[in-house]
Chain A
């Protein structure tokens, strides 16, 4: 047992402390949505080739702009992704990943996990960390120096360039350009999602692709139909009236729950940029556009005064999905993947439940915009290792990215036939065992591009596809996506939360517009101006 303190351990501890200090509180929610417009000349950098998987034909073809492929049914004969047998071999793969669901049963009691190990050709040892604790665990792991073979690195990780170059493998020789073709399923990941894995012109990880279209404003279609209400308001006034018509306090039913995401929707109506806007190389944060923000906040005050917001909405976090499912609210802004989750979670108790989604209209009519989500949830970086080991790890990740229509996708998402699911024609229908086993967070190492598919009720797919087409037609992306700002990573999250608290108070008429302006100025001083400079510099580097 070596108790000496080496320079290396001091370096690791320093990185860990930095990681813990700066990441604090910034991990909040599962992201989805993604892509958008590449920064100028990004295509001339080291990004991997994009080779789309075409072995299965979608019922609803996706588009380059970001509409996902849609499928009514799973192929009756799934494609064998690795006809020559398991792709990897060697020592177990130790991966540290996040989890947003209840922890799945351990490998000894989890057939899905056991079969996945057999499928990969080596044992997958997952160090599962609850989402709320990932910041702490990540910083301690860095500090301890005993890194797993692979670990999830959040976009806001501090000192990321230094941390990655010191501790993680530069994957550029393995994945850049045509080299990625050795891993055909990694080559199937959208180009924009790789952009988040590049720092200093080198590839330091594998993305976890998410759908383009970000979040959606869901509504209870069954409630609207029962009242013959129009689910497509043409402007804010009609939206306000729709909210009034849906609200019935005597039945504990309100239109909206979360004031902050409702504000996002109003800002989409006002054509606001998503987070950062770039214009001639100059970056502006969306809350700096004070005229638009004031208009949006005053609209929120109208909603609050009208009594259409759930009375506990300002003091609650994390209950909005349940409220929507059990009918306490009729409209909820949520990640687009929640569409299937609503049916899975709440239809048994509410058999009439129908879900629809709207795209923001213009505030005074005409089209609004739709905010894109990040094109990759995070990056998955590999510890420095010998080339042979790195290749084995990349083969394992390749297997974890096998797309819809393959045997690998079926195994990862649904499990073992007869144990985790049963076939209804060709569609896998999860049973109770499958429900607990398929929360295995291998999806937070990497994953296949998302698709529109809901085996329990395929009639949902065309509705989702139609909504995606509308959303993508007015999609607007965060100009800073894929760019790195040390200031934003270190101080952005907490100061953003502080700003949001000021906005909430304004919506409730507990402070004044001057307070909001003071908050924006404070944000500029503490983090905003420095972040702007760093993003502009990073953007220029891509533009050169």
Chain B
């Protein structure tokens, strides 16, 4: 009788190669690569650190360092208090949140339905509409024609002017359409044989299979609405209706001394220096996206790649 001795396999040497068969490289080369990567990471991270630190720095340190601070010696929330103390920034924040939420919802609804329609070859007028969509990607209207259209639609000085002109993004629709087209046709045919309507097929079969793509496109739309300032500058006349980014622009681009006038007037509680206030506004403006992004990040690569490579 032969006894088979089951021996545990020799422990495999761990390699750092992400691609099978690729050699890891010599140690000095790996060290060099690590240093280069570290420098790249620092180049990305340090501006964020500087902005966040400066927003918490006190006036003396900001003035001493000439603008940017990498570590606040005496952290203070004074900049945030000054900004959010009932002024226009807090109101603009609400406007931005409202426009982003409503705009993203409407954009997703319109883009998904349009992309689904365009992904069905049997849909009436599918090809001409697709060509129109592609045409709008290649030839964009100028600012003045857009303004005249929005004006004649009666949307000037309304929040709709911040949403409707950018509600459907052709690129996003194409990406979604590509993903919908890649779904197995048998699934949809089976549902149709079972008597499901197009709406039911979309909501019960297509969308649950497309969470990754929809999440990514939703993020694209949300970031776009959140960062938009130009439409507000063009279409909104009342500063009380401005979104955060346009208010931020008057602080940052106008490069005005934000605290001018208060320092000597109220020496006990001077306003923070302009760099600290600008940094605090920047932090506030990127905070929602920074919070949102990690939850969608896992869908990001998958969603975009799926839509992008299948057509």
Q: Do A and B truly interact?
A: yes
Give residues in A with beta carbon < 8 Å to B.
1-3, 9, 13, 16-17, 20, 96, 99-109, 125-133, 136-137, 139-140, 143-144, 146, 252, 318-319, 321-323, 325-328, 341, 343-350, 421, 429-432, 434-436, 438, 456-457
B136 on interface, CB distance cutoff 8 Å:
no
Asked if B260 and A341 make an inter-chain contact with CB atoms under 8 angstroms apart, the answer reads: yes
A-B contact pairs, 28 of them (CB 8 A): A1-B153, A2-B152, A16-B144, A17-B144, A96-B237, A100-B256, A102-B254, A105-B87, A106-B91, A132-B254, A144-B151, A146-B156, A322-B67, A326-B64, A327-B63, A344-B261, A347-B263, A348-B263, A348-B270, A349-B263, A421-B265, A430-B266, A431-B265, A432-B271, A434-B265, A435-B262, A438-B261, A457-B264
B239 on interface, CB distance cutoff 8 Å:
yes
Asked if A9 and B148 make an inter-chain contact with CB atoms under 8 angstroms apart, the answer reads: yes
A-facing residues in B41-80 (Cβ within 8 Å): 59-60, 62-64, 66-67
Contact of A323 among B62, B66, B143, B153 (CB under 8 A): B66
- Measured in the bound complex, the distance between the Cα atoms of B180 and A465 in whole Å is 75
- Measured in the bound complex, the distance between the Cα atoms of B239 and A125 in whole Å is 10
| B59 CB contacts on chain A under 8 angstroms | 348-349
Q: A106-B91, A344-B263 are in contact. List 7 more A-B contacts (CB 8 A).
A: A13-B144, A17-B144, A139-B144, A343-B264, A432-B265, A436-B87, A456-B264
Asked if A130 and B253 make an inter-chain contact with CB atoms under 8 angstroms apart, the answer reads: yes
* B140-152 contact mask (Cβ, 8 Å, vs A): 1 or 0: 0001100110011
| B273 CB contacts on chain A under 8 angstroms | 349
Interface-forming stretch among B101-109, B124-132, B244-252, B290-298?
Answer: B244-252
B205 on interface, CB distance cutoff 8 Å:
no
- Measured in the bound complex, the distance between the Cα atoms of B267 and A274 in whole Å is 40
| B67 CB contacts on chain A under 8 angstroms | 319, 322, 326
B202 on interface, CB distance cutoff 8 Å:
no
Q: A13-B148, A139-B144, A140-B234 are in contact. Are A130 and B250 (CB under 8 A)?
A: yes
| B275 CB contacts on chain A under 8 angstroms | 322
Asked if B260 and A106 make an inter-chain contact with CB atoms under 8 angstroms apart, the answer reads: no
A-facing residues in B265-285 (Cβ within 8 Å): 265-267, 269-271, 273-275
* B97-120 contact mask (Cβ, 8 Å, vs A): 1 or 0: 000000000000000000000000
| A431 CB contacts on chain B under 8 angstroms | 262, 265-266
- Measured in the bound complex, the distance between the Cα atoms of B249 and A457 in whole Å is 32
Min CB–CB distance A540 → chain B (angstroms): 36
- Measured in the bound complex, the distance between the Cα atoms of B238 and A533 in whole Å is 42
Smallest CB-CB A-B distances: 8 pairs? A106-B240, A348-B263, A348-B270, A435-B262, A349-B63, A435-B261, A318-B255, A456-B264
Asked if B254 and A131 make an inter-chain contact with CB atoms under 8 angstroms apart, the answer reads: yes
Asked if B151 and A146 make an inter-chain contact with CB atoms under 8 angstroms apart, the answer reads: yes
Asked if A325 and B271 make an inter-chain contact with CB atoms under 8 angstroms apart, the answer reads: no
Asked if A99 and B240 make an inter-chain contact with CB atoms under 8 angstroms apart, the answer reads: no
Asked if A350 and B63 make an inter-chain contact with CB atoms under 8 angstroms apart, the answer reads: yes
- Measured in the bound complex, the distance between the Cα atoms of B148 and A146 in whole Å is 10
Asked if A103 and B262 make an inter-chain contact with CB atoms under 8 angstroms apart, the answer reads: no
Min CB–CB distance A409 → chain B (angstroms): 16
| B251 CB contacts on chain A under 8 angstroms | 102
Asked if A348 and B233 make an inter-chain contact with CB atoms under 8 angstroms apart, the answer reads: no
Contact of A20 among B64, B144, B266 (CB under 8 A): B144
Asked if B63 and A108 make an inter-chain contact with CB atoms under 8 angstroms apart, the answer reads: no
B259 on interface, CB distance cutoff 8 Å:
yes
Asked if A349 and B238 make an inter-chain contact with CB atoms under 8 angstroms apart, the answer reads: no
- Measured in the bound complex, the distance between the Cα atoms of B251 and A116 in whole Å is 24
Asked if A140 and B147 make an inter-chain contact with CB atoms under 8 angstroms apart, the answer reads: yes
- Measured in the bound complex, the distance between the Cα atoms of B142 and A16 in whole Å is 12
- Measured in the bound complex, the distance between the Cα atoms of B64 and A1 in whole Å is 59
Give residues in B with beta carbon < 8 Å to A.
59-60, 62-64, 66-67, 82, 86-88, 91, 143-144, 147-148, 151-154, 156, 233-234, 237-240, 242, 246-247, 249-251, 253-267, 269-271, 273-275
Asked if A456 and B265 make an inter-chain contact with CB atoms under 8 angstroms apart, the answer reads: yes
Asked if B66 and A1 make an inter-chain contact with CB atoms under 8 angstroms apart, the answer reads: no
Min CB–CB distance B231 → chain A (angstroms): 12
- Measured in the bound complex, the distance between the Cα atoms of B267 and A429 in whole Å is 11
Asked if B66 and A328 make an inter-chain contact with CB atoms under 8 angstroms apart, the answer reads: yes
Q: A105-B88, A109-B86 are in contact. Are A345 and B260 (CB under 8 A)?
A: yes
| A435 CB contacts on chain B under 8 angstroms | 259-262, 265, 271
Q: A99-B250, A344-B265, A432-B266 are in contact. Are A108 and B233 (CB under 8 A)?
A: no
| B264 CB contacts on chain A under 8 angstroms | 343-344, 347-348, 456-457
Contact of A144 among B148, B239, B250 (CB under 8 A): B148
| B144 CB contacts on chain A under 8 angstroms | 13, 16-17, 20, 139-140, 143
Asked if B154 and A1 make an inter-chain contact with CB atoms under 8 angstroms apart, the answer reads: yes
* CB closest chain-A residue, reference B91: A106
| A144 CB contacts on chain B under 8 angstroms | 147-148, 151, 156
Asked if A434 and B261 make an inter-chain contact with CB atoms under 8 angstroms apart, the answer reads: yes
Min CB–CB distance B228 → chain A (angstroms): 14
- Measured in the bound complex, the distance between the Cα atoms of B82 and A435 in whole Å is 11
- Measured in the bound complex, the distance between the Cα atoms of B242 and A17 in whole Å is 25
* CB closest chain-B residue, reference A351: B267
| A327 CB contacts on chain B under 8 angstroms | 63
Q: A130-B233, A432-B266 are in contact. Are A326 and B254 (CB under 8 A)?
A: no
Interface hub of A3, A16, A96, A349 (most chain B Cβ within 10 A): A349
| B240 CB contacts on chain A under 8 angstroms | 106-108
| B257 CB contacts on chain A under 8 angstroms | 321-322, 325, 341, 344-345
Min CB–CB distance A6 → chain B (angstroms): 11
| A323 CB contacts on chain B under 8 angstroms | 66
Asked if A100 and B66 make an inter-chain contact with CB atoms under 8 angstroms apart, the answer reads: no
Asked if A100 and B254 make an inter-chain contact with CB atoms under 8 angstroms apart, the answer reads: yes
Contact of B256 among A101, A107, A139, A434 (CB under 8 A): A101
- Measured in the bound complex, the distance between the Cα atoms of B86 and A104 in whole Å is 12
- Measured in the bound complex, the distance between the Cα atoms of B242 and A421 in whole Å is 27
